[in-house]
Chains A and B, each alone.
Chain A
Amino acid sequence: MKEFKIAPIRNGTVIDHIAAGQALNVLKILGVNESNIGSTISVAIRVQSKKEMGWKDVIKVEDRELDPATVDKIALIAPDATIVIIRDYYIAEKFNVALADHITGLARCSNPDCITNKGEPVEPEFDVVNRRPPTLKCSYCDRILTRISDNLL
């Protein structure tokens, strides 16, 4: 019999195939803190994966379907993640997150002297210079963004 580490959800989103260890960063993207949780969120860290990646993290968010901007942010730190939308216990939609070639407005440049950190009316922009692991280069100052999860907007 198949053993469920987390119970199935009736409505909401399952974020599957998160690279092991990144679940807490994904929670940060979801904007989860003590005061704003309106539904149950289940987190499984280091679950055996059938895919070749070996270990993975899984998050289930009840009663919430993720918007595209949130999905794009998840792609920055978990590029292999799968998003599964559940409606009335059935899979309504399933898709892989997609990391674009050019990122606008999702993260800030880690260089404090970059012009994008000086109150100018522009959104930070990055070129994706490597996809595994995701590596971003600032389109303004050319610096490589270190620690993406610490610089998400």
Chain B
Amino acid sequence: MDFYDKDIVSIRDFTRDEIEQILDLSEVMIPYANGDKVKRPLDGRILGNLFFEPSTRTKLSFESAALRLGAEVIDVSQMSMTSISKGETLADTIRMVDTYCDVIVLRHPHEGAARLAAKFSINPVINAGDGAGSHPTQTLLDLFTMRREKGSIDGLNIVLVGDLKYGRTVHSLADALAMFGARLTFVAPESLQMPEDTVRHIGERGCSPRKTDCLEEVIDDADVLYVTRIQKERFPDPDEYQKVAGMYRVDNAMLREAKSDLIVMHPLPRIDEIAPEVDRTPHAKYFDQAFNGIPVRMALLCAVLGGKM
């Protein structure tokens, strides 16, 4: 598929072949992403970073990806200083920013915001997370990490644990993993289990996930343990947050039951879901995963802007 001028809104818009195409290009980007080689295929192009919600990794890695490829970045550091705080619609903001840059990266608190932005923008829009909706670039970098570490995703036993209801990364990820033929287990208390819509989509891909609230029960045959933070800001009820916060904590004692080649991933930031002692074990792959955001986002920017490597 030619990604030139295409919007990247949801992982559900991609076929498996298209995902593999991006992952292959991400592989090519690795030496450019870590600075070993230098090339500027996007020289003279401008990325508009529109983050309506706080973000560290996603925003910085898009900036870094753009700069590594020779593009310039414009952004708004404080949304409270903009016309949005005066009540401007997202549609109008997008139409305006669209004239200032060649590609828009959008993070927004409301679901479907990226689809709306894509409708109003002439240049391509990349969804950097829309509320509890999808976060396709995170999904792509997660898939890229698993493929790099394990060689292939087909048939892997993948355990997703933590906030599966409000955590936006796991919805897109579970859907894509089902597409790749992984076997899935969802570990969460009932109040934070995977939403029915996502489970239904996964079912349509021929995957029937296991569900449990006990991580110890399923850790022994896992190939990948994907841990997510219980996100306080997504809880309407603080009591519900207190009940479940800190329920799952991965430490070396727990990992003694796991396969020696189990990899532990986390989209970060972590609070106390993974003990710092795990960082020093070969299981820990979450910082490699964070780095992988750069080559994957470089691949996407290059593809949608028609850069030649």
Interface residues of A (CB under 8 A from B): 109, 111, 113-116, 118-122, 138-144
Contact = CB atoms under 8 A, between A and B. Distances in A.
A140 to B, nearest CB: 3
B116 A122 contact: yes
A141 B115 CA distance: 8
7 contacts: A113-B132, A114-B111, A116-B112, A122-B119, A141-B111, A141-B112, A142-B133
A71 to B, nearest CB: 27
A113 B89 contact: no
B90 interface: yes
A139 B115 contact: yes
Given A138-B112, A142-B12, A120 B91 contact: yes
Contacts of A119: 89
Contacts, number: 54
Nearest to A143: B197
Contacts of A138: 112
Nearest to B134: A142
A140 B112 CA distance: 4
The 3 A-B pairs at the shortest CB distance, nearest first, are namely: A140-B112, A141-B111, A141-B112
Contact of A140 (B91, B115, B197): B115
Nearest to A109: B112
B111 A143 contact: yes
B-side binding surface: helix, strand, loop or mixed? Answer: mixed
A-side binding surface: helix, strand, loop or mixed? Answer: loop
Contacts of B109: 113
Nearest to B92: A121
A120 B89 contact: yes
A122 B90 CA distance: 11
Contacts of B119: 122
Nearest to B10: A142
Contacts of B108: 115
B133 A122 contact: no
A140 B111 contact: yes
B116 A144 contact: no
- Greatest chain B CB density within 10 A among A111, A118, A141, A143 is at A141
Given A115-B90, A118-B90, A120-B90, 20 more contacts: A109-B112, A113-B109, A113-B110, A113-B131, A114-B111, A114-B112, A115-B108, A115-B112, A115-B113, A116-B116, A119-B89, A120-B91, A121-B91, A139-B115, A140-B112, A140-B115, A141-B133, A142-B111, A142-B133, A142-B197
